Amino acid sequence: MKVAFTTQDLKRVDAHFGWAKNIAIYEVTAEDYRFVEAVQFAEEKEDGNEDKLAAKIDAIRDCAIVYCAAIGGSGAARVVAAQVHPLKLAQPELITDLITKLQGVLRGVPPPWLRKALLKGEERKLDFADEV
């Protein structure tokens, strides 16, 4: 699955979703990960202008999760509407550490929200014959 990280320095999740200078995108599995791309944005100011969110939401549209230092209520609602699960961190953390933690969860029994995120982009298959 693809995972996005809001970052100023491309090393740590240390940026508010709306003001992030970069969004680093990685492909993450339980066993491995690889850097996909870094999407760069012009320097943003805390101005209440929500039009700047559209480009960021477009950048993460095919991601299952976005890690961020902070995200506003309407920004979070728009991210969720794009079927991306936002995760807000209490303090800056290294992207590689977050990936390692996520991989540990993927190797175990992921919580329901993560199982749903893992299915992003896949057709939902319902086999009612198995329910009998």
Residue pLDDT, tens place only, 43-71? 655 555 557 799 999 999 999 999 999 99
Q: How confident is the model at residue 113 (pLDDT cuts 50, 70, 90)?
A: confident
What share of the chain has pLDDT > 70, as a percent? 84
Token pair of 45 as six digits: 């100011």
Rounded CA-CA distance 42/47 in Å is: 14
Q: How confident is the model at residue 79 (pLDDT cuts 50, 70, 90)?
A: very high
Burial class (CB in 10 A: 0-12, 13-18, 19+), 103: middle
Average pLDDT over residues 31-42: 94
Q: Residue 132 has what pLDDT?
A: 44
17 contacts 82 by C-beta, under 8 angstroms: no
Q: Residue 109 has what pLDDT?
A: 86
